[in-house]
């Protein structure tokens, strides 16, 4: 699976594997109102965190087998852009 993000607020999931090396668009993850600056998977690949200029971080549950995502939570409270996001190596902290 590949995730792409852009200044146009679009975040897209793509199926990428040996049989489909060019990628197949699967789903757009919506909700951000600003440039998505950072995307990161948890270490087990089940959670995707997105950081944006809209001052939020959005969390998505990821189904790797089907290259789909389900919105879980929006983290708010920043006074400015959120430019980066990271998980701890064991996946217990964001």
User: Do the domain assignments include residue 80?
Assistant: no
Q: Tell me how long the chain is.
A: 94
pLDDT tens digits for range 48-82: 999 999 999 999 999 877 778 899 999 999 999 99
Q: CA-to-CA distance for 52 and 80, rounded, in angstroms?
A: 10
Going by pLDDT thresholds of 50, 70 and 90, the confidence category of residue 31 is very high
User: Do the domain assignments include residue 49?
Assistant: yes
- Domain count across the chain: 1
Q: What is the pTM of this model?
A: 0.87
User: Do the domain assignments include residue 8?
Assistant: yes
User: Do the domain assignments include residue 42?
Assistant: yes
Q: CA-to-CA distance for 51 and 47, rounded, in angstroms?
A: 13
Q: Please state whether beta strands 36-41 and 24-29 pair in parallel, antiparallel, or not at all (unpaired).
A: unpaired
Mean pLDDT of 35-50: 94
Question: 37: domain CATH number?
Answer: 2.40.10
Return the structure tokens found at 15: 């199926």
Going by pLDDT thresholds of 50, 70 and 90, the confidence category of residue 20 is low
- Which residue range is the domain that position 28 belongs to? 2-75
Rg (CA), the chain: 13
Closest C-alpha among 53, 64, 50 to residue 5 = 50
User: Do the domain assignments include residue 29?
Assistant: yes
User: Do the domain assignments include residue 83?
Assistant: no
């Amino acid at each position: 699976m590949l995730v792409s993000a852009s200044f146009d607020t679009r975040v897209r999931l793509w199926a990428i594997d040996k049989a489909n090396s060019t990628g197949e668009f699967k789903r757009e993850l919506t909700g951000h109102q600003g440039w998505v600056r950072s995307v990161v998977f948890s270490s087990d690949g089940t959670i995707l965190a997105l950081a944006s200029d809209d001052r939020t971080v959005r969390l998505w549950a990821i189904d790797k087998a089907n290259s789909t995502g389900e919105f879980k939570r929006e983290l708010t409270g920043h006074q400015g852009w959120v430019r980066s996001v990271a998980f701890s190596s064991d996946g217990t902290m964001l």
